[in-house]
């Protein structure tokens, strides 16, 4: 990895250059919550001033720009005994400015499933390849536990990554695209003072995590406590609304529906994100539901995050952003659910 520094004025010039030939997405203030705190969303921006890099977290993750909630996979038509299919991959250049390390780590996990596994999704891959990513360091939100799941730092999966040193940014460069973009502005070589200041900022961030979650023993513990009553305790609160999966940066389960015209001459295949907490998630033809209870569905959500994904990819699926805990109207959140599970593991 190469490092340079960039004054804040030069960073602004860089974003303005990027804006000339890319659709740019960034964290924008979109309102305030009931406590008067700002709400931020990743939205298209037209000028630099609209981007607020000081945001703590966003309600929805930038996942939606790689895995949209709903997308048309193909449109087809039948005519004179022949058929034609129209498939469009997104190839327009896009830049996302201001992604946090946890959200970039989430993309790296999605890459494993959607880009590198046996059946890569060309829809996902085309969006990933055509997106220029500028990440930024930040002090953690109170309930964020990304450090506990190893997602508080990131070494790849982005083009540029910024750390705020006050009057300038310390910039990690991780791609040719990032290097070439920086060449258009007055990026400076790193001095000893820059490195020293950078390490001091990183140490401050690392020491500011308030929420810690023990996950190292979860794959075994989840098997041992498969029948534990704690799943009923939490499952009985669940409203089966599916909001947790919608805001989660790593949830990728989906369904495909085929919409055929009444005269059978044309149709569309549409992909839509699904959620393992929805009542019909495990329902099969004939009406049998393999997970008919709220507790069984909630339990399998945690199984996928901390056991199934670990078995497949040697790491948990969760990046510790706690968006699911924030959005959940029933108050179900990973730190408390996992603490209960850990307490069960210690026995009476």
Taking contact as CB under 6 A, which single stretch among the options 74-82, 187-195, 204-212, 238-246 is the one that binds ligand SF4?
238-246
CB neighbours of 32 closer than 8 A, spacing ≥ 6?
Answer: 38, 39
The nearest distance, CB 23 to ligand SF4, in angstroms, is 25
Q: Which is nearer to ligand SF4, 44 or 292 (CB)?
A: 292
| Structure-token pair, residue 304 | 């996928």
Q: Which is nearer to ligand SF4, 59 or 344 (CB)?
A: 59
The nearest distance, CB 304 to ligand SF4, in angstroms, is 9
- Rg over CA atoms, the chain: 22
Q: Contact with ligand SF4 (CB under 6 A): which of 219, 242, 267, 308?
A: 242
Q: Contact with ligand SF4 (CB under 6 A): which of 239, 253, 256, 260?
A: 239
What is the C-alpha to C-alpha distance for residues 331 and 324, in angstroms, rounded to an integer? Answer: 9
CB neighbours of 197 closer than 8 A, spacing ≥ 6?
Answer: 165, 166, 170
Q: Which is nearer to ligand SF4, 45 or 248 (CB)?
A: 248
Q: Which residues pair with 268 in a beta bridge?
A: 75, 259
Residue 157 near ligand SF4 by CB under 6 A? no
Residue 293 near ligand SF4 by CB under 6 A? no
**Helix, strand, coil abundance in the chain, percent, nearest 5:** 35, 25, 40
Site for ligand SF4, residues 172 to 201, rule: CB under 6 A: none
Distances (CA, A) of 17 to 21, 106, 130, 172, 225: 8, 27, 17, 19, 54
- Contact in structure between 256 and 249 (CB atoms under 8 Å): no
Closest Cα to residue 256, out of 246, 265, 268? 268
Per-residue contact track with ligand SF4, 317 to 336, x per CB under 6 A? Answer: -xxxxxxx--xxxx-x-x--
Residue 135 near ligand SF4 by CB under 6 A? no
Q: Which is nearer to ligand SF4, 26 or 334 (CB)?
A: 334
Going by their DSSP bridges, the two strands 94-99 and 23-32 should be labelled as: parallel
Q: Contact with ligand SF4 (CB under 6 A): which of 173, 250, 273, 341?
A: 250
Place of tokens 């179900």: 332
Q: Which is nearer to ligand SF4, 73 or 241 (CB)?
A: 241
Residue 148 near ligand SF4 by CB under 6 A? no
Residue 253 near ligand SF4 by CB under 6 A? no
Q: Contact with ligand SF4 (CB under 6 A): which of 57, 121, 277, 295?
A: 277
Phi-psi region of 90 (alpha: psi -120 to 50; beta: other; left: phi over 0): beta
Q: Which is nearer to ligand SF4, 190 or 282 (CB)?
A: 282
Residues of the shown chain interacting with ligand SF4 in the complex, contacts defined by CB under 6 A? 238-244, 247-250, 277, 305, 318-324, 327-330, 332, 334
């Amino acid at each position: 990895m190469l490092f340079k520094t960039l004054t804040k004025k030069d960073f602004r010039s860089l974003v303005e250059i990027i804006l000339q030939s890319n659709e740019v997405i960034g964290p924008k203030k979109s309102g305030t919550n009931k406590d008067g705190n700002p709400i931020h969303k990743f939205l298209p921006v037209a000028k630099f001033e609209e981007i607020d890099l000081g945001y703590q977290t966003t309600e929805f993750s930038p996942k939606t720009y790689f895995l949209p909630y709903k997308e048309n996979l193909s449109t087809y038509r039948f005519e004179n005994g022949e058929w034609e299919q129209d498939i469009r991959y997104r190839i327009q250049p896009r830049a996302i400015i201001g992604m946090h390390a946890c959200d970039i780590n989430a993309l790296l996990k999605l890459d494993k499933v959607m880009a590198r596994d046996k059946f890569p999704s060309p829809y996902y891959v085309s969006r990933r390849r055509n997106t220029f990513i500028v990440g930024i360091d930040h002090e953690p939100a109170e309930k964020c536990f990304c450090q506990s799941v190893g997602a508080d730092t990131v070494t790849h999966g982005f083009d540029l990554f910024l750390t705020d040193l006050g009057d300038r940014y310390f910039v990690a460069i991780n791609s040719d695209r990032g290097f070439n973009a920086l060449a258009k502005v007055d990026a400076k070589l790193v001095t000893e003072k820059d490195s020293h200041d950078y390490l001091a900022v990183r140490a401050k961030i690392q020491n500011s995590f308030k929420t810690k979650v023990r996950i190292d023993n979860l794959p075994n513990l989840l098997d041992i406590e498969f029948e534990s009553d704690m799943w009923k305790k939490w499952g009985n609160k669940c409203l089966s609304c599916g909001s947790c999966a919608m805001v989660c940066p790593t949830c990728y389960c989906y369904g495909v529906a085929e919409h055929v015209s009444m005269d059978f001459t044309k149709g569309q295949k549409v992909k839509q994100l699904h959620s393992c907490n929805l009542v019909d998630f495990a329902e099969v033809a004939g009406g049998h539901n393999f997970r008919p209870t709220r507790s069984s569905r909630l339990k399998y959500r945690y199984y996928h995050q901390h056991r199934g994904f670990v078995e497949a990819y040697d790491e948990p699926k969760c990046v510790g952003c706690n968006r699911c805990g924030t959005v959940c109207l029933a108050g179900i959140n990973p730190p408390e659910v996992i603490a209960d599970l850990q307490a069960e593991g210690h026995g009476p």
